[in-house]
Amino acid sequence: MALNAKQYDQIREEIEKSDRPLIFFHDDADGLSSFLLLYRHIMKGKGIMVKPLPIVDEKYLHYVEEYSPDRIFVVDIAVVEQEFIDRAGKPVVWIDHHTPLKRKNVLYFNPRSSELSDSEPVSYVCYKALKRDLWIAMTGAIGDWYMPDFAGEFAEKYPDLFDAKIKKPEEALFTTKIGELVKVFSFILKGASEEAMKCVRILQKVESPYEIISSETPRGKFVYKRYDYFRKLYDALMEKAKKAAAKGNFLVYIYRDKDSFTGDMSNELLFLHPDKVVIVGREKQGEVRMSLRGAGKNKVLPKLKKALEGMDGYGGGHEYACGATVKKKDFDSFIDKLREEF
Ligand SMILES: [Mn+2]
């Protein structure tokens, strides 16, 4: 079940009590939005982007030492190791919506703890607790393929960014201005983290979405330019992917490039081809790292698990959205096995 009023109050009290919060966030639109909602509520703190793996462990302890926060927040991160919590020596507040985990000495908020099938994004949870910066909350929710109950209110305030007639998050994502803002939030986080964080710091204080999407201010333009750089790379890859041979019900596209767009690309390709199993992979260090997507009858998770049996590879995720890695030399046989499963 969604969190209750008392839990939302508790989240708000925790951030309001904090004078120097250190906030770890996932490197996607939901994670970034969650961080921004917490930060902007008190205009204090420091954000740390967690990538490439959504795990906060002892490798992140040095940030605690360097910043010496009074509280630690972790948002939209699937795993926080007990060792990190024990050694951080500060109160830890963890807000997440991945598979619930058991940890000690942490204030843990997860809508899935009481109902595993629930999936409210973390930015939705933060917005319900703080009720500020509606446009950031909407960006995080849509970025997580979730149509929030405040979509109508958002449409009233920002009719040029979103239309209340739209009921499917993917339609908002790929046909509206709020969808473009999701791409901004996702793409600026790619590439070098120091450069990404320059844009994040700007987002900590921008006053409206128009500063960015209409480049209304120099700082908004700065963010838009970084987004535009990655968008061009993305669009070029998408052009090739759209032409990729779609044999039967499979759309497979593999590329070599230093930036990871497989998640974003597979989502958009699935939107264009909802009847297909979409696989977008990136070749790196003798491996193919891929995102797999399906809809309707194409539940990818169980088939992926079967196809990986006895193979030198790993993967997992949600029913319709997975990630997996296999050796380059095994890729073709992996795809053959997966085809058989479907
Ligand atoms: Mn996320």
Q: Which of 105, 132, 159 is at the close of a domain?
A: 132
Question: Is residue 172 a contact partner of residue 180, using CB atoms and an 8 Å limit?
Answer: no
Ligand 1 mean position to 131 CA, how many Å?
A: 20
245: confidence class by pLDDT, cuts 50, 70, 90: low
Residue 214 lies in a domain: yes
pLDDT of residue 112: 87
Segment holding 280, helix H or strand E: strand 277-284
Ligand 1 mean position to 248 CA, how many Å?
A: 31
Residues with CB under 5 A from ligand 1 (ion): 26, 28, 30-31, 76
Do 6 and 83 sit in the same domain of this protein? yes
Do 230 and 251 sit in the same domain of this protein? no
Ligand 1 mean position to 20 CA, how many Å?
A: 24
For residue 195, what are its two tokens?
Answer: 């450069």
pLDDT of residue 244: 80
C-alpha span between 182 and 187 (Å, rounded): 9
C-alpha span between 78 and 95 (Å, rounded): 10
Ligand 1 mean position to 78 CA, how many Å?
A: 8
pLDDT in tens, 257-291: 888 899 999 999 999 999 999 999 999 999 999 99
List C-alpha distances in Å: 150 to 10, 40, 60, 129, 147.
21, 19, 35, 13, 8
Ligand 1 mean position to 31 CA, how many Å?
A: 5
Question: Is residue 118 a contact partner of residue 110, using CB atoms and an 8 Å limit?
Answer: no
Show the domain range for 177.
147-243
Do 116 and 170 sit in the same domain of this protein? no
Nearest to 145 by CA among 172, 165, 125: 172
Domain CATH code at residue 336: 3.10.310.40
pLDDT of residue 305: 93
172: confidence class by pLDDT, cuts 50, 70, 90: very high
Domain CATH code at residue 15: 3.90.1640.30
pLDDT of residue 158: 98
Q: Output phi, psi for 293, to 5 deg.
A: -135, 150
Mean pLDDT, the chain, integer: 95
Residue 14 lies in a domain: yes
Q: How many domains does the chain have?
A: 3
What is the average per-residue pLDDT within 117-139?
A: 95
Percentage above 90 pLDDT, the chain: 89
Do 5 and 125 sit in the same domain of this protein? yes
What is the average per-residue pLDDT within 187-211?
A: 97
167: confidence class by pLDDT, cuts 50, 70, 90: very high
Peptide bond into 111 cis (omega under 30): no
* 76-78-82-84 Cα dihedral, nearest 10 degrees: -50
Residue 188 lies in a domain: yes
Do 212 and 258 sit in the same domain of this protein? no
